[in-house]
């Protein structure tokens, strides 16, 4: 279905009182269904908000344009991050949920990182799975201790290790409370990613409560 900002999305209400809402952001070629089961596993009973990226690359949905593999159209990144922030604001009003924790994979993780930097108030935190630096010259954001988990793959052929480390430093410098773990994995998600994200989300949820 569509909302006023023209995102196709799914929303599942929460079934556990106080469970943090999750904003699920798929990778290239995914859609609004891709991470629903992952979200339900990471934080059982949480409200789940899962939009589909509005950019098509060879027919595959993405959240922003890129010029080549690993080379982003940063003007489009900024524009799309703000659009996503507006969508989140509208969904919060419509469904009566708190600011969500973003759970993003690959392209979805990159737009989540951009949203943190462009509009920090839109998110309560983020789980960034196989993320890269989204903006070479980010705005000077104040993240004020927002919790962020970055999970990188040691053998990831798409995300250089140094790039993920730069993202971790960038978010830390902006004030986020960053945990960065490097897993013996490639670009695809593993059971270890889901387990670590679940444990981290539970610890963040417990601190908030």
List active site positions.
106, 156, 187
Please spell the DSSP secondary structure of 23-55, one letter per residue: EEE--TT--TTTTHHHHHHHSTT--EEEEPPSE
8 Å CB contact between 128 and 183: no
3-state DSSP percent of the chain in helix, strand and coil, to 5: 35, 25, 40
Q: Which two tokens stand for residue 41?
A: 């596993």
Q: Which two tokens stand for residue 202?
A: 């539970």
Closest CA to 115 of 98, 131, 91, 134: 134
Where residue 30 falls (left for φ over 0; alpha for ψ -120 to 50; beta otherwise) is: beta
8 Å CB contact between 170 and 131: no
Q: Please state, in angstroms and rounded to a whole number, the distance separating the CA atoms of residues 195 and 42.
A: 7
Alpha helices in 8-146 (DSSP H): 36-42, 74-95, 107-118
């Amino acid at each position: 279905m569509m909302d006023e900002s023209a995102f196709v999305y799914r929303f599942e209400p929460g079934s556990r009182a106080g469970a943090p809402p999750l904003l699920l952001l798929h990778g290239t070629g995914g859609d609004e269904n891709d991470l629903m089961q992952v979200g339900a596993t990471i934080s059982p009973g949480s409200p789940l908000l899962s939009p589909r990226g509005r950019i098509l690359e060879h027919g595959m949905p993405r959240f922003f344009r890129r010029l080549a593999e690993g080379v982003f159209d940063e003007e489009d990144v900024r524009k799309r991050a703000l659009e996503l922030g507006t969508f989140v604001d509208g969904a919060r009003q419509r469904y009566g949920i708190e600011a969500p924790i973003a759970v993003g994979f690959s392209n979805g993780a990159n737009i989540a990182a951009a949203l943190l930097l462009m509009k920090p108030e839109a998110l309560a935190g983020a789980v960034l799975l196989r993320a890269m630096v989204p903006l070479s010259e980010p705005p000077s954001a104040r993240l004020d201790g927002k919790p962020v988990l970055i999970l990188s793959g040691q053998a990831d052929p798409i995300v250089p290790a140094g790039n993920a480390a730069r993202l971790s430093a960038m978010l830390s410098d902006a004030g986020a409370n960053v945990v960065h773990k490097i897993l013996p994995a490639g670009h695809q998600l593993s059971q270890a990613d889901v387990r670590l994200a679940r444990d981290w989300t539970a610890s963040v949820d417990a601190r908030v409560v």
